[in-house]
Amino acid sequence: KIACGASIPIEERRPEEITQLAGKRMAPKGVKVWNPAFDVTPACYLSGIITEVGVLRPPYTDSIRAALEKSSYS
């Protein structure tokens, strides 16, 4: 567990994933791009997590455990 999501390093993806399509430039030259691989959303903004086994609701420790028991990935 971590106290704050601010300590999670966020991987940055290549700008070309945003500025190009099928190898062809779609954005103006020189455009600045920030392409994070993911974000850190504060828990207070989550009302559910959508998964293959259904929507998980708080308390997440319980619903995640139950989902893992149902999942073929566990």
At 7-36, the pLDDT tens digits run 899 999 999 999 999 999 999 999 999 999
Q: Which residues form the domain of 29? A: 1-40
* Number of domains, the chain: 2
What is d(CA 1, CA 8) in angstroms, rounded to the nearest whole number?
Answer: 11
Q: Are residues 2 and 15 in the same domain?
A: yes
Q: How confident is the model at residue 74 (pLDDT cuts 50, 70, 90)?
A: low
Same domain, 10 and 31: yes
- The encoded tokens of residue 37 equal 């691989």
25 and 49 part of one domain: no
Q: Residues 23, 52: one domain?
A: no
CB atoms within 10 A of CB 66: 13
Same domain, 71 and 55: yes
For residue 13, the number of C-alpha atoms closer than 13 Å in the C-beta half-sphere is 9
The answer to whether residues 74 and 68 touch, using CB atoms and an 8 Å cutoff, is yes
